[in-house]
Structure 1
């Protein structure tokens, strides 16, 4: 076990993590960043491009931007947080252009276009920036548990360095969890690091989650591939196997139509044939990685029909995550902060997916706030010296079994089980109460078994903890989905297809061995 001491530990390596590390360092804190992969190349953003919710500070434009998602999100978003994110994102994107020297393109009028980012270049520059700021980066160093002090405050984390094949521990005055959401190892591009680890760590330390019912996000991908960039499919026509148009598949709720067709065992085809020449050229410039798969397969997506599928993106593109309790992205647990997809995005999206643009803006903004907040906490007199505090590991399932290790399932079996419950369209996407309840019972039993016996050492410990995190994530999702007996935002219930005014509130969820839910105070604007 190698020991490190720092003021702020950032767990993760994507946009939220790097912005948190940068702003904590600029606030005068010593910062360590621990990434499961190689910071700058791991995660969903580094694998592709993304739009950004970047809106100039013009009142009419800001008003339109905030109003555009309120209805879709079931009126659960918060205007104050929306305004804060728009302000912060505007400033940070401009900073990225000036200090980060990101090569934003210019429009026909000569003005810079800052509403989108190429992920590989964006994250390359963010890695350079945090290294220049003095952040110590631990690559290929997945965290396996948080550390807490005698008062229950978060005091660092422990993990495993894959390349060095050694355990490590970082004592810290504060921790930022920016580990991303959970896609259940579905195969969607860039999500293999997104197994819900941060949510598990937070719950073990005593934090709550919110919006976990808004987790049934599925992305369209060419069959047999992983690229789930879906914006361009708004220009597509979808077809059945016999060549007939699949009516309704191109509408706003079209993915449910595609899912129903796929559930029959039939294939669904698409052709992006409603884009004119100008749009086609703009698409290739905006999202070149979208077209790599087609180019390699010899497919012209504008002229040729190609088979498509749906891949689960869970809380990566969904909305739920760790509950935020303060403007600095505190979690309610002393010393613990959350940012990016690890945190709930209900504040700006309500109950509807943030897609790429809103989630990207949230990552930038929440990362910046969490980094500053963590630095302020760590450097305050009440925090004390991080290296001097006695610490205890907070981890449970997959790490400290309650029974004999041999009695539990291996991590592969645990992952396979949770995927059987969380990936199928007729369980997670086209939801019904009786199906949700049956899946939850299966997952509760699986949790009891892995809690009693799942264990690993070294790299297998990392995999065991991932299996535990995915199982916990699915249980929170389905418990919250059962508690919301209506259709609101993404949380669609086939057995409750209407929106219920009495349920105009957020749903909090938590617990490990016993999952609980409760309504939060009303928020957002009136429907």
Structure 2
């Protein structure tokens, strides 16, 4: 590929520039457009199938449903799970706005589990409170959002540029005014001018090397490589909690989520080699990961997600979730080893390290409005 001369830079302008076309970026673009902004959505892959939710998601774990939970209780639980290292005002915004987001996603075509009375069937996974809301057809989340994104009324307000790799947020007098990007197909340099910039680039999932040594075999979506953290840093934005890295209990040798938090409400739980339970909550926390690490390294290891005791109908339900959503190759992996949930429990290990604001407490610092410390620069 011939690299064009810098003089051939392409110039684009918009009101709101959204960097990252995953679920967060798509929602940010839709929200800005619905409020009258002229939006440019940049994606280094293709928006149709980009982001961590491209293969779906089994549910949301921050659904604070009125009548079933209170925002203050959710904030208290998340604070406890993160050993107090959280921005409570930001978490409170998530708690108070979560229900409206669930309803909005339903309007877009995303389906959530409901009970026999037609109410949201939230499940308990955290130490206290029920905030996990399963999505029976979670594999279609991104498809549903993409359909909305490509509706005629949205196409008129949102311009999508795929295969553009943003590399820097541009600033002027300390304010974000756009971004510089590279077209990965043509080599063209692209300069974008914007009144506001939103980073929706996900976590830094390739900070550590997986046990397999395979660079793209990370727990986190491998395209979530920390681009946004880097761009925010170079723009002068404050980063927060970078020492609070993320590790997760995963399926050994597969490096995908064992999904104890999915199996737990159905009766699954984590055990050591003696069949003894050793954690009191399957939701991520520093305490839980410390317990997992200690158990693996002791004479009581290895550890397992115990599901073989569950009724066949329950296991059918679990398989319909775990083998179709997020990591559909999970079922293929088990089959290749001759394992079946009816006769084998799931051996677990620990992932490589990563940085994540969603499952840890690290990332670009934002206030309760999503604003970074650089005026005009936001992060989702």
TM-score by length of 2: 0.75
- When residues 162 and 246 of structure 1 are mapped into structure 2, their CA distance, relative to the original with a 3 A threshold, is farther
Bigger CA drift: 46-55 or 260-269? Answer: 260-269
CA RMSD, aligned part only?
A: 3.2
Matched, 1:116 2:125: no
Please give the secondary structure, in 2, of the residue aligned with 1:49: coil
In the TM superposition, what whole-angstrom CA distance separates every residue of 1:192-244 from its partner, at most 9, and x where no partner exists? 1111111111111111112223223223123144345342465245455xxx4
Distance 2:299 2:20 in 1: 38
Please give the secondary structure, in 1, of the residue aligned with 2:148: helix
Q: Which of residues 57, 80, 83 is equivalent to 2:66? A: 57
In the TM superposition, what whole-angstrom CA distance separates every residue of 1:62-96 from its partner, at most 9, and x where no partner exists? 45434333323334546654443233221122122
Matched, 1:322 2:364: yes
2:94: which partner in 1? Answer: 85
- Unpaired runs of 5+ in structure 1? 340-527
2:6: which partner in 1? Answer: none
Going by fraction, where is helix more abundant, 1 or 2? Answer: 1
- When residues 227 and 166 of structure 1 are mapped into structure 2, their CA distance, relative to the original with a 3 A threshold, is farther
Q: Which of residues 334, 339, 349 is equivalent to 1:299? A: 339
Distance 1:300 1:272 in 2: 10
Give the 5 Å matches for 1:257-406. 258-259=292-293, 268=302, 270=304, 271-277=306-312, 279-289=314-324, 291-292=330-331, 293-295=333-335, 297-312=337-352, 314-316=354-356, 317-325=359-367, 327-339=368-380
1:25: which partner in 2? Answer: 33
Please give the secondary structure, in 1, of the residue aligned with 2:77: helix
Superposed displacement of residue 323, structure 1? 1.0
Distance 2:76 2:192 in 1: 43
- Unpaired runs of 5+ in structure 2? 1-8, 123-132, 211-216
Superposed displacement of residue 27, structure 1? 1.5
- When residues 250 and 79 of structure 1 are mapped into structure 2, their CA distance, relative to the original with a 3 A threshold, is closer
Superposed displacement of residue 309, structure 1? 2.8
Are the counterparts in 2 of residues 269 and 305 from structure 1 also a CA contact under 8 Å? no
Distance 2:69 2:345 in 1: 41
Q: Which of residues 93, 115, 123 is equivalent to 1:107? A: 115
Q: Which of residues 189, 208, 211 is equivalent to 2:241? A: 211
TM-score by length of 1: 0.56
Please give the secondary structure, in 2, of the residue aligned with 1:71: helix
- When residues 237 and 60 of structure 1 are mapped into structure 2, their CA distance, relative to the original with a 3 A threshold, is closer
Please give the secondary structure, in 2, of the residue aligned with 1:315: coil
In the TM superposition, what whole-angstrom CA distance separates every residue of 1:313-365 from its partner, at most 9, and x where no partner exists? 5223322111114x4311121211111xxxxxxxxxxxxxxxxxxxxxxxxxx
Superposed displacement of residue 7, structure 1? 1.2
Matched, 1:70 2:79: yes
- When residues 81 and 260 of structure 1 are mapped into structure 2, their CA distance, relative to the original with a 3 A threshold, is closer
Distance 1:126 1:37 in 2: 16
- When residues 262 and 169 of structure 1 are mapped into structure 2, their CA distance, relative to the original with a 3 A threshold, is farther
Are the counterparts in 1 of residues 246 and 354 from structure 2 also a CA contact under 8 Å? yes
2:227: which partner in 1? Answer: 197
Superposed displacement of residue 43, structure 1? 2.6
2:103: which partner in 1? Answer: 94
1:140: which partner in 2? Answer: 163
- When residues 163 and 116 of structure 1 are mapped into structure 2, their CA distance, relative to the original with a 3 A threshold, is farther
1:386: which partner in 2? Answer: none
Please give the secondary structure, in 2, of the residue aligned with 1:102: coil
In the TM superposition, what whole-angstrom CA distance separates every residue of 1:159-193 from its partner, at most 9, and x where no partner exists? 22223343322221211011111122642355211
2:50: which partner in 1? Answer: 42
Please give the secondary structure, in 2, of the residue aligned with 1:154: strand
Please give the secondary structure, in 1, of the residue aligned with 2:190: strand
Distance 1:96 1:232 in 2: 21
- Count the aligned residue pairs: 333
